[in-house]
Structure 1
Amino acid sequence: MGRIGKLDVFIVVAATICIVFGIVTWAAFSSIYSTLVKQNLQLSINTDTSLGYSAFQYTNPQVTNIMKFYFFNVTNPDEVKYYSAKPNVVEIGPFAVVESEQKKYIDFNGDKSQMFYQNYKKYILSKDYSCDDCGWDRNLIFPNPPGLGAVGSMIDPQFKITRTGRTIIATALMILGEYPFVSHKVREVLFDGYEDALLSAAHSGIVTILSGVFKGEGQSIVPIPIPQMPKFGYFQGYNNSRDEEYWIETGKTDINQIGKVQKWAGITELPGSWWTTDYARSIRGSDTGSFTQMHLDESSTADMFFSFMCRSFTKTFYRKETIQSIPTMGYHIGYDEWDTTSDKNVGFRYRNVEKRNYFPDWPQCPPKGQCHQSGSIDCSKSVNFCHACCQGSFYNGTYLLPPGMFPLVCYPGRLQPTPFAVVYSPPHFLFSPDEVRSTVVGMAPDPEKHEPMIYYHETYSGTTLKVTNRLQVNMPVIKSHDVPSSQNMPNVMIPLFWQEATPIYHQFIFNQVWLGFVLVPRLMQVLQFVALGFGLLLVAVLVFIQLRKGGNSNSGRPGVRRTSFLERTSNWLSSTSSNSYNTNQSGGLRRM
């Protein structure tokens, strides 16, 4: 009978260790790894009151956020003003700004399940990311927001302006020189602001005194809303300012709820004066899509609250992309989120109190027959716009806007209603029908350049690795017989500018994500296969060695039966057991 030597024992032990290691890591690694990831993702505070890693990175973003502005310069303002011509616009840009932000006054609730912060932002003009001939002192011709806003407010029923009142306001606008189009430098239009006669008059000392005498302190004799700014600029007063206050989920209770906004500006639901349905007023998801859930796939969705757009959105799958060797899932704010003609988005519709049909060619309906179901057809639904009993986009005494746009109802990021009408859309009216783009000369939508919002996340942790936010700002311009300068204006939606924000993540973020979510899982997977494979290989080697031993010991000895490896192993174990028994017996006798 062949003996099992030290080498055999070593091989058995090594094979057992490899196989056990492979099986254990196969079974336990996923759970251990998931627990460690959740602990690292959670927004936390240490015992010494310093912030945990994830909370520190969130409150001090390690990114360079580049904001590029593309302005639409109106090249035929006189033709538009006097002859109702289509506005002809030329895109100029980009004019780039480097944005930085920091979340301050961090606090946690009692059980550390929620975190409080205020988000402060700074903007610095950048030549590096601007076009070569994009000088900040370049002049633009564009619609006059304060003046045109006043024209629109005059006919808003909520202000109850009488015909006499409208005549007084129209006269004041003419005296102050408020015309439909103005020309100012880019730096003034964007951040610096420019002097506007209407704003200056409304905020003047004499108006303040008269308001106090006739209306009381804090009230104004001006019957229409006036922007709370001494100068006008799209982002005037926003540099070195902050958004409203936030309370968000830390992920302690449920890691997939991390970043979810629980309160914004002290409220859990947006005002009813902004949006008309519970869904539209809901505050959902994380702040501007900063976080999403783990284990993403093509069926995943994620909500986000965008305070600068005064509403929440839902992200859906867009496409896959590998970013610096890291597989990611891309999600976007798609067409459905911009379609206010759909039943889901009824609450986001533009009120259109001015009752103007900005897009008379939409929708394109065939000749209608007679209506035989009057009263039973819901003409607010897009599927019924062309029904014989409906009147296209005309519903409930005003006109609905086509898909691809919704109104700005607040000062961006602030719990204040905006004083004049502004409409958001994707750049170049990407999601709107051709009847919208044809009202302005110069629109050329391109999905690759103008897709509004795209977020790329690492699939396991949900970590955001790439973001592109695009947004166009448009102003409704109306014909008004009350205001001489607007008597020949067309009813049209004129684009003012569109903006693209792209955070550039620092390289160490990609390195850490690649190490933690690409290399480590792959390395463990390789080790599992290697350990199991090597263990099985050692078993095979041991079997081969024993077979060779058996063959060598029996060769040349006729009549001697070759014992198998299993028999020899069994005999060896039996022998060992017998020797151990005899030793114990001997020992027992000796003790007796």
Structure 2
Amino acid sequence: MAGVANTKSIVLGVLGVVFVVVGTVLVFLVPIMMDQQVEKNVRIDPSSGFAYEMWRDLPVPFYMSIYVFEVVNHKEVLLGEKPLLEERGPYVYREYKKKENITFNENGTVSFVEFRTLHFDPERSNGKEEDHVVVPNILVLGSSIMLEDLGIPIKWIISGAFSAFNEEAFINRTVKDILWGYENPFLDFLNTILPGKLPFKGKFGFFSDFNNSNSGVFTINTGMEDISQVQMIDSWNGLEQVDYWNSNQTNMINGTAGQMWPPFRKPSEPLEFYSPDACRSMKLVYEKEETFRGIPTFRYTAPNYLFANGTDYPPNEGFCPCVASGVQNVSSCRFNAPVFISFPHFYNADPSFLESVDGLHPTEELHSLFLDMHPLTGIPMNCSIKMQLNMLTKSVSGIVQTGKIKPVILPVLWFAESGYLDGPVYYTYYNILILMPVLLDYLQYVLIGIGLFFIVVALVLPFFKQDKCFLFWSSNKNVDESQESNAQKEKLNAPNGIVLLEARL
């Protein structure tokens, strides 16, 4: 029987060693396999299937929520009083993005144009596109400031033209007109006498050139040769830097196009991207660890210095002329129109902006932007990018329509572009890049644990007592009762009075 025990020990020992070896090998192989799987799925490669389709068509739901500030006391503002604002909305639009004219270049880059279309979503909106609101008339207030340095006679002519076309400092139009544009005879007149001087042509609207449009030709790295450079911008509209600003640093086109980033992110690495709408590169910084529907993420937010002026943050000096921190002048890339960007409700801005108007209530929860990224792949899981559009309003001598308006940077509207991974894309992504690596991670330790258990059993097994080893003998003598007890005697019937004794050891 000892031979059987030894055989079992050998078999268990061999199995244990095999399991431990396989598990140990997986400890080293799983990270390599995971990295290879990640690289395969984040390269811009038409043969990668799922990842390429996701990059090309962005099938995840995107929404643009727009909030319009109505000037409640616009008549009083013309007399010099502080503007009182009332937020209307949100007016929510389903946003679709698709890359076209995709061209792979010999230097490991790919060029494309991304088209975007927006469709009103009444169920998610708090209001209708037909709602009427009173907002600043940028054709009057904006062009007045743009023409402020002209002689008084010319400004009188402009003011007379305003009157002839019934243009006033504030307009009462539908949300649809204000956002997406409406035919304006006065705009045609201005473009005739001031060709190339105004940022609007055809229809006049704050987002008239946004819907059914594209943001220019991006050329980015495919990551086929160097995965650390995937998604990084090589050029935009053929440019490696813009010329809107006053320093090389502020004119640089840095980071990605803002949809994905290189994989294997570390908290110390900021997220940089170029925004054609803001005419500049921007940077988000790590804040904390988060999770999105079971997927571990890093949360990134905007640093306090993003819209700081050159005094508070010297690297931003190139964006000047500046106002107080928290609001950036973007007139240089908007035909010198007095346009400024900030966070909604002047969140994180100098208190003077908030004090110049009534009706704003900035909070971190509602008005700060964030982006939750899966650090292993560099793909955003959930984001909400928020921005406010403001314009400078003031009285301009010689143009009677501007009345006695006090100089103020007046919020016009703010918007949030939000998107998150959902539906079949989420489940495919979760299974390939989250669930499978986790299962492999657990498998390696399960195999090592089982293997060690088998080895221990194999080492201990030979020392266990064998419970069923029997000795038989015969005797014609009387058996002492104490011997009978010790031997666990059992008398059995046998011929010729022979007594058989069984001793269980």
Normalising TM by the smaller chain, what interval? 0.7 to 0.9
Shift of 1:173: 3.0
Given candidates 511, 525, 544, the residue that maps to 2:427 is 511
RMSD value, Cα? 2.3
In the alignment, which residue of structure 2 is the partner of 1:308? Answer: 277
Give me the TM-score of the superposition, normalised by structure 2.
0.87
Does structure 1 residue 459 correspond to structure 2 residue 375?
yes
Distance 1:263 1:483 in 2: 43
Contact 2:298 2:372 (C-alpha < 8 Å) held by counterparts? yes
In the alignment, which residue of structure 1 is the partner of 2:489? Answer: none
Which residue identity does 1:447 align to in structure 2? E
Which residue identity does 1:345 align to in structure 2? N
Shift of 1:170: 3.3
Summarize the alignment of residues 378-397 of structure 1 with structure 2, pairs less than 5 Å apart.
none
Which residue identity does 1:86 align to in structure 2? K
In the alignment, which residue of structure 2 is the partner of 1:328? Answer: 297
Does structure 1 residue 404 correspond to structure 2 residue 326?
yes
Structure 2 counterpart SS, 1:335: coil
In the alignment, which residue of structure 1 is the partner of 2:224? Answer: 252
Does structure 1 residue 120 correspond to structure 2 residue 115?
yes
Summarize the alignment of residues 62-211 of structure 1 with structure 2, pairs less than 5 Å apart.
62-81=59-78, 83-111=79-107, 113-131=108-126, 134-155=127-148, 161-191=150-180, 193-203=181-191, 207=192
Shift of 1:248: 0.5
* Matched pairs, number: 467
Shift of 1:523: 1.9
Contact 1:154 1:224 (C-alpha < 8 Å) held by counterparts? no
Given candidates 446, 450, 456, the residue that maps to 1:534 is 450
Structure 1 counterpart SS, 2:391: strand
Which residue identity does 1:226 align to in structure 2? L
Contact 1:293 1:302 (C-alpha < 8 Å) held by counterparts? no
Distance 1:504 1:38 in 2: 22
Contact 1:121 1:239 (C-alpha < 8 Å) held by counterparts? yes
Shift of 1:487: 4.1
**Shift in CA distance, 175/419, structure 1 to aligned 2, threshold 3 Å:** farther
Contact 2:347 2:362 (C-alpha < 8 Å) held by counterparts? yes
Contact 1:99 1:122 (C-alpha < 8 Å) held by counterparts? yes
Shift of 1:194: 2.3
Which residue identity does 2:303 align to in structure 1? G
**Shift in CA distance, 348/402, structure 1 to aligned 2, threshold 3 Å:** same
Shift of 1:332: 1.4
**Shift in CA distance, 136/228, structure 1 to aligned 2, threshold 3 Å:** closer
Structure 1 counterpart SS, 2:32: helix
Q: Unaligned regions of 5+ residues in structure 2, if any?
A: 472-505
Shift of 1:179: 1.9
Contact 1:65 1:503 (C-alpha < 8 Å) held by counterparts? yes
Shift of 1:163: 4.1
Deviations 1:45-87 (A, max 9, x none): 34xxxx7432221111112211111111111111111x21000
Does structure 1 residue 481 correspond to structure 2 residue 401?
no
Contact 1:146 1:420 (C-alpha < 8 Å) held by counterparts? no
Instruction: Give % identity.
Output: 23
Shift of 1:504: 4.0
Distance 1:486 1:237 in 2: 27
Which residue identity does 1:317 align to in structure 2? Y
Structure 1 counterpart SS, 2:438: helix
Given candidates 220, 239, 245, the residue that maps to 1:275 is 245
In the alignment, which residue of structure 2 is the partner of 1:27? Answer: 28
Distance 1:225 1:257 in 2: 40
Distance 2:346 2:334 in 1: 24
**Shift in CA distance, 23/345, structure 1 to aligned 2, threshold 3 Å:** same
Distance 2:189 2:121 in 1: 34
Deviations 1:388-433 (A, max 9, x none): xxxxxxxxxxxx41111112347xxxxx743522111100000112
Distance 2:373 2:324 in 1: 32
The structure with more radius of gyration: 2
Which residue identity does 1:171 align to in structure 2? G
Distance 1:261 1:164 in 2: 49
Distance 1:94 1:103 in 2: 28
Contact 1:153 1:224 (C-alpha < 8 Å) held by counterparts? no
Distance 1:33 1:321 in 2: 21
Shift of 1:168: 3.2
Contact 2:371 2:380 (C-alpha < 8 Å) held by counterparts? yes
Relative to its length, the structure with more strand (as a share) is: 2
Which residue identity does 2:102 align to in structure 1? I
Distance 2:200 2:410 in 1: 24
Structure 1 counterpart SS, 2:83: coil
Contact 1:43 1:52 (C-alpha < 8 Å) held by counterparts? no
Contact 2:38 2:433 (C-alpha < 8 Å) held by counterparts? no
Which residue identity does 1:186 align to in structure 2? V
Distance 1:251 1:550 in 2: 65
Distance 1:310 1:196 in 2: 27
Does structure 1 residue 232 correspond to structure 2 residue 204?
yes
Q: Unaligned regions of 5+ residues in structure 1, if any?
A: 208-220, 352-399, 411-415, 556-592
Give me the TM-score of the superposition, normalised by structure 1.
0.75
In the alignment, which residue of structure 2 is the partner of 1:45? Answer: 46
Summarize the alignment of residues 209-224 of structure 1 with structure 2, pairs less than 5 Å apart.
221-222=193-194
Summarize the alignment of residues 337-356 of structure 1 with structure 2, pairs less than 5 Å apart.
337-341=306-310, 342-349=313-320, 351=321
Which residue identity does 2:314 align to in structure 1? D
